[in-house]
Amino acid sequence: MIVCLRGFILSMSEKYGLIDDGLVVFDDSTGLIEDVKRWSERGSVRCDLVEGDEHSVVMPGLINTHTHAPMLLLQGLGAGLTGFDWLRRIWCVEGLLRPEHIYVSAKASILLMLENGITTFADHYFYEEEVVRAVEELGVRGVLAKSVVEYSEHAPKHTIEESVSFAINFNKVAGGRVRTMIGVHAMYSCSTETLLKAVEAAEKYGVRIHMHFSESLHELEYVKSKYGVTPASLARRLGILKTKPLLAHATYLNDEDIKTLSEHEVYVTYSPFTIMSWGQGIARVSELIDEGVTVSLATDGPVTDGDLSLFKQMKLAIAAQSSRYQTPIKLRPKEVLEMVTKKAAKSLGIDDLVGVLEPGKKADIVVLKPPKTRVVGLYDDPYTTIVYNLGDESVNDVYVDGKKIISGKAPLRVDAEGLHKQLTSIRGRLLSEAIAACGK
Ligand SMILES: [Zn+2]
């Protein structure tokens, strides 16, 4: 069936730009976009179904480049702690997790992300096979990595060999909607032997590495005292920077570190809420961008940021960077929209598939139905209007691979009420176990 979505088209594509009353045409059987054009030119198009209207906004599905979806179950734990103190608390509870927890919690997170217009997420966690199951069932797109954490007595123990084997065996499953990376938690939580094995495998199999990087002052001090260099220098020394890594946070960088990163093809994923609410600094994102580093936005795990909202991260990224550099011009609304669409797709190596609305790309599309009072400026300055004035509540319909997943805000593939009951019940049992094992 040929589906035509009508609305204000925010294509994020160089060629198609903005169309104030247009349509996106796609084939729901191939999942591919066939055309993007003005509504007035629809005569040449066959539409079996027309959805949306002149008050809708049609844009690419949002892409969350760093999260830990199964952590929804742990929402709120560790509040008031930071750095290694936070990690010790979380790792202790994570030691109690079993595959059933991961599957149910990942489903709940994915549902929340879809409701917020997120059609692709990059995940990094334990028992990641369960996240694959959830992705398969809910119809979303995922770039998944099985996380290796060594320096914790409690956290589930996956070896680097298991993480590599996951990346090889699950790539392109779920009709190609799953892509994979090697997951090492961080340089402070894994041995150099493991990090070197990750680099070797990345080079041998052409798989990328997703890891936390220079996220906190604790990490900076730890790496400096153990290795005598900054995290950026250590990553270069170990060969990590040569593997086109996806680096989460990059909060603490000196001038030399920024130069080092800019000399390599690295992808930084920035989660302003997590790091600022942790009491850590504001990353030098604007300078990284100026030096040519691709930076995307992410929610991080829902334990620290339970709403999984990229609309919120866009606003916070602008506010944080404006505050850091004492000027509002460092990060513009159009740029943060690119950081959750086409730059995010590039960061995950899936820009051949998604990130912009143009013929030949996959129909991962969000239809917003914003309150009219919030989009008074839409035709004057659409990027500012959407980033500053809209939020997750504007998301009405969501398509992934040409299939409708959310319709009129209602999920089509999962019993949301049943899932919530299941989640609440397993969380209750898990927290009782956690009090016994880890204390209050
Ligand atoms: Zn993280």
The answer on 388 and 259 residing in a single domain is no
The answer on 380 and 286 residing in a single domain is no
Rounded distance, CA 121 to CA 114, Å? 10
Long-range pairs, 282-285, Cβ under 8 A, ≥24: 282/251, 282/320, 282/321, 282/323, 282/324, 283/249, 283/250, 283/251, 283/253, 284/253, 284/258, 284/324, 285/317, 285/320, 285/321, 285/331
Predicted local confidence at residue 147, as pLDDT: 97
The answer on 207 and 103 residing in a single domain is yes
Q: What is the pTM of this model?
A: 0.97
Predicted local confidence at residue 212, as pLDDT: 98
Any domain includes 414: no
Residue 270 CA to ligand 1 center (angstroms) comes to 10
CATH of the domain at 314: 3.20.20.140
The answer on 23 and 145 residing in a single domain is no
Rounded distance, CA 97 to CA 81, Å? 21
Predicted local confidence at residue 435, as pLDDT: 85
Residue 211 CA to ligand 1 center (angstroms) comes to 8
Choose one of 347, 376, 392: the last residue of a domain: 347
Residue 269 CA to ligand 1 center (angstroms) comes to 10
Residue 77 CA to ligand 1 center (angstroms) comes to 15
Any domain includes 433: no
Domain membership of residue 397 as a residue range: 2-58+366-408
Number of domains the chain is built from: 2
Any domain includes 73: yes
Rounded distance, CA 1 to CA 402, Å? 10
The answer on 149 and 9 residing in a single domain is no
- Sole residue written with tokens 């008050």: 55
User: pLDDT (tens digit, 0 to 9) for every residue of the chain, 440 residues total?
Assistant: 999 999 999 999 999 999 999 999 999 999 999 999 999 999 889 999 999 999 999 999 999 999 999 999 999 888 888 888 888 888 888 889 999 999 999 999 999 999 999 999 999 999 999 999 999 999 999 999 999 999 887 888 899 999 999 999 999 999 999 999 999 999 999 999 999 999 999 999 999 999 999 999 999 999 999 999 999 999 999 999 999 999 999 999 999 999 999 999 999 999 999 999 989 999 999 999 999 999 999 999 998 788 999 999 999 999 999 999 999 889 999 999 999 999 999 999 999 999 999 999 999 999 999 999 999 889 899 999 999 999 999 999 999 999 999 999 999 999 999 999 999 999 999 988 888 888 77
Residue 302 CA to ligand 1 center (angstroms) comes to 10
The answer on 380 and 267 residing in a single domain is no
- For 5, 317, 336, 337, the CA distances from 384, given in Å and listed in that order, are 23, 14, 10, 10
Residue 431 CA to ligand 1 center (angstroms) comes to 21
Residue 35 CA to ligand 1 center (angstroms) comes to 37
Residue 427 CA to ligand 1 center (angstroms) comes to 21
Predicted local confidence at residue 313, as pLDDT: 97
**Of 1, 8, 33, 42, whose CA–CA distance to 357 is shortest?**
33
Any domain includes 33: yes
Any domain includes 387: yes
The answer on 25 and 91 residing in a single domain is no
Predicted local confidence at residue 266, as pLDDT: 98
Two structure tokens written together for 249: 């946070």
**Contact by Cβ (8 Å): 274, 246:** no
**Contact by Cβ (8 Å): 49, 1:** yes
Any domain includes 418: no
The answer on 287 and 381 residing in a single domain is no
- Evaluated on CA atoms 28, 32, 35, 37, the torsion sign reads positive
Residue 371 CA to ligand 1 center (angstroms) comes to 33
Rounded distance, CA 99 to CA 146, Å? 13
Any domain includes 93: yes
The answer on 53 and 155 residing in a single domain is no
Residue 83 CA to ligand 1 center (angstroms) comes to 12
Residue 172 CA to ligand 1 center (angstroms) comes to 23
Residue 1 CA to ligand 1 center (angstroms) comes to 40
Residue 417 CA to ligand 1 center (angstroms) comes to 28
DSSP lists the bridge partners of residue 268 as 247, 295
Rounded distance, CA 322 to CA 332, Å? 10
The answer on 284 and 370 residing in a single domain is no
Residue 88 CA to ligand 1 center (angstroms) comes to 14
The answer on 216 and 199 residing in a single domain is yes
- Sole residue written with tokens 């130069």: 259
CATH of the domain at 21: 2.30.40.10
The answer on 250 and 217 residing in a single domain is yes
Residue 260 CA to ligand 1 center (angstroms) comes to 22
Any domain includes 143: yes
**Contact by Cβ (8 Å): 178, 219:** no
